[in-house]
Structure 1
Amino acid sequence: MINPKDAAAVAAQLGRAPRGLRSVAHRCPCGLPDVVETAPRLPDGTPFPTLYYLTCPRAAAAVSGLEAAGLMREMTARLADERLKAEYEHAHRDYLARRDDAASRSGVEPLPPGTQSAGGMPDRVKCLHALV
């Protein structure tokens, strides 16, 4: 579980109360959370398919710049490479398994089969924030 100090830091980063926080998944070199793990369902039961959530404002701004420059189209085109596509599909399956595990550890129902995974996986690159 996430400690109150980290939860407060994430709230400050987002400018709002975070939803469904489970843990800090990664820390910035400065020591603050920059990626959090969220429960696959919010406390009211609403599905929340984004398992890892980028919270660092500087990182999120940098990723937004890449998205604005159209990097998703370029990365989606790169999926024509069979080796890269296979690795991306593997990452998709791993993400789904981790999300199901997080549901189990959170004591909530896993999301139904067919629920989106992260950032357009496995067929395209849609959201770099979710993939970072």
Structure 2
Amino acid sequence: MTSRSTDVPQPFGVGEPATDEDLRVLRAQLGRPARGVLGIAARCVCGRPTVVVTAPRLPDGTPFPTFYYLTHPAATAAMSALEATQVMPELSALLEDPEVAADYRSAHGRYLADREAVDVVPEIVGFSAGGMPSRVKCLHALAAHSLAAGPGVNPIGDLALERSTWSPSRCQCVVIDDGE
């Protein structure tokens, strides 16, 4: 993917279309039906969904700013475990480095561009996810963005993935019977 300029983020898109099997797996992963699924932005090495692309406005009309949603149970557990280590102040302190802060602001801009390429929802304009662009709030959202956009786009999401016990290169899926 090439950017039109260094100042204008190029939208990532909505990923691959979700299949009926993907929706079944998502239901099992989340423990409920997935809402507003536009596509699958990242997959486990075994092919199961890891990050879903969610509509900026859910079918019931609710604004939904989390465009990239981490669904893989092992990945979400690893991000929760990492957050429990009180790493957030350390990662937030990295934003004092002007280069890291600029990269993080750029990630925020890219996230917004990706979501607004699908729909502009007035209630969430300017809000991305995970605390971007000025703080670190949710590693789940930041890791999802890194997995969807690829390495080098979101510096804090990349660090969260590097420091977690979960790896996108190793299947840690558990087959869950969703009752269907």
TM-score in terms of structure 1 length = 0.91
Q: Deviations over 1:44-72 (max 9, x none)?
A: 21100000000000010000001111112
Residue 85 of structure 2 is aligned to residue 69 of structure 1: yes
Amino acid at match of 1:58: A
1:22-101 aligned within 5 A: 22-101=38-117
Amino acid at match of 1:127: C
Amino acid at match of 1:87: D
Which deviates the most, 71-80 or 119-128? 71-80
Give, in angstroms, the shift of residue 116 of structure 1. 2.0
Contact 1:13 1:56 in 2 (8 A): yes
Contact 1:22 1:39 in 2 (8 A): yes
Provide the secondary structure at the position in 2 that maps to 1:24: strand
Q: Could you tell me the percent identity over the aligned residues?
A: 55
Separation in structure 2 between the aligned mates of residue 52 and residue 37 of structure 1, nearest angstrom: 5
* Structure-1 residue corresponding to 2:134: 123
Give, in angstroms, the shift of residue 114 of structure 1. 4.5
Separation in structure 2 between the aligned mates of residue 111 and residue 119 of structure 1, nearest angstrom: 18
Tell me which protein shows more helix as a share of its residues. Answer: 1
TM-score in terms of structure 2 length = 0.68
Alpha-carbon RMSD: 1.1
Separation in structure 2 between the aligned mates of residue 115 and residue 18 of structure 1, nearest angstrom: 25
Which consecutive residues of structure 1, in runs of 5 or more, have no partner in the other structure?
104-109
* Structure-2 residue corresponding to 1:111: 121
The count of corresponding residues between Structure 1 and Structure 2 is 126
* Structure-2 residue corresponding to 1:12: 28
Separation in structure 1 between the aligned mates of residue 27 and residue 76 of structure 2, nearest angstrom: 15
Q: Deviations over 1:95-118 (max 9, x none)?
A: 000000122xxxxxx122644211
* Structure-2 residue corresponding to 1:106: none
Provide the secondary structure at the position in 1 that maps to 2:118: helix
